[in-house]
Amino acid sequence: MKKLLIKTIVYLFVLLLIPYLYLLWQAKKGVDSFLATQSIPGDFEYQWVWLDLEGQITLSAVRFYQNLDEPVFTADQMIITPTSIFDLVNVQEHILYREYPSVVTIRLKKAVSRQSEKLLSLFDIQYQGFMLNMIYPKECLKEINTSLPFINFELGSRFEIHQTAQESLVTFSFTSQELTNLEGSFKINGFSSNEEASSFISELSLKFSELTWLQQNTQKCLALSKSDKNRFVENINKTIARSAKENNLLVNQAAVNYLADFLYVPQSIEMNFNLQSGKTFSQIPLEPYFEYQNKTGLSILLNSQNLGTLFEAFDYISEKEKDKKQLAVEKKATQKSNFLAINQRAIRSKLGAKVLLKMYNGKQVIGYLEVAGNDRLKIYQLKYKGKTILPFLYKNIQSIKLLREEN
Q: What is the mean predicted confidence (pLDDT) over 117-138?
A: 79
What is the average pLDDT value for the chain, to the nearest integer?
78
Confidence of residue 407 (pLDDT cuts 50, 70, 90): very low
Q: What share of the chain is helix, strand, coil (3-state, %, to 5)?
A: 35, 30, 35
pLDDT of residue 382: 76
At 277, the amino acid letter reads S
Q: What is the mean predicted confidence (pLDDT) over 136-140?
A: 81
Looking at residue 60, what DSSP letter applies?
A: E
pLDDT of residue 177: 92
Which pTM value belongs to this model? 0.67
pLDDT of residue 198: 58
Say if residue 288 is preceded by a cis peptide, omega within 30 of 0: yes
Q: What are phi and psi of 150, to 5 degrees?
A: -65, 140
**319 pLDDT more than 50:** no
Q: Where are the domains of the chain?
A: 2-306, 324-403
Q: Which carries the bigger pLDDT value, residue 44 or residue 126?
A: 44
Q: What is the mean predicted confidence (pLDDT) over 79-83?
A: 87
**389 pLDDT more than 60:** yes
Crossing angle of helices 212-225 and 253-264, in 10° steps, is 90
Instruction: Output the CA–CA distances (angstroms, integers) from residue 394 to 124, 243, 341, 372, 374, in the order listed.
Output: 39, 18, 10, 10, 9
* Partners of 271 in beta bridges: 206, 300
Degrees to nearest 5, angle at CA 163 with 157 and 165: 100
Residue 191: strand, helix, or coil = coil
Q: For 245-265, what is each residue's pLDDT tens digit?
A: 777 778 888 888 889 899 999
Radius of gyration of the chain (CA): 29
Report the Cα 45 to chain-centroid distance in Å. 27
pLDDT of residue 212: 94
Fold assignment, 324-403:
SH3 type barrels. (2.30.30)
Instruction: Output the furthest CA–CA distance in the chain (Å, rounded).
Output: 122
Looking at residue 362, what DSSP letter applies?
A: S
Distance CA 360, CA 341 (A): 15
At 58, the amino acid letter reads T
**129 pLDDT more than 70:** yes
Residue 149: strand, helix, or coil = coil
Highest mean pLDDT among 37-46, 113-122, 172-181, 304-313: 172-181
Task: Please check whether residue 105 is in contact with residue 156, taking contact to mean a CB–CB distance below 8 angstroms.
Answer: yes
Confidence of residue 234 (pLDDT cuts 50, 70, 90): confident
Task: Please check whether residue 36 is in contact with residue 95, taking contact to mean a CB–CB distance below 8 angstroms.
Answer: no
pLDDT of residue 320: 38
Q: What is the mean predicted confidence (pLDDT) over 325-347?
A: 66
Q: What is the mean predicted confidence (pLDDT) over 311-323?
A: 46
Q: How many CA atoms lie within 13 A of 85 on its CB side?
A: 14
Task: Please check whether residue 208 is in contact with residue 269, taking contact to mean a CB–CB distance below 8 angstroms.
Answer: yes
* Partners of 51 in beta bridges: 57
Least confident of 153-162, 366-375, 382-391: 382-391
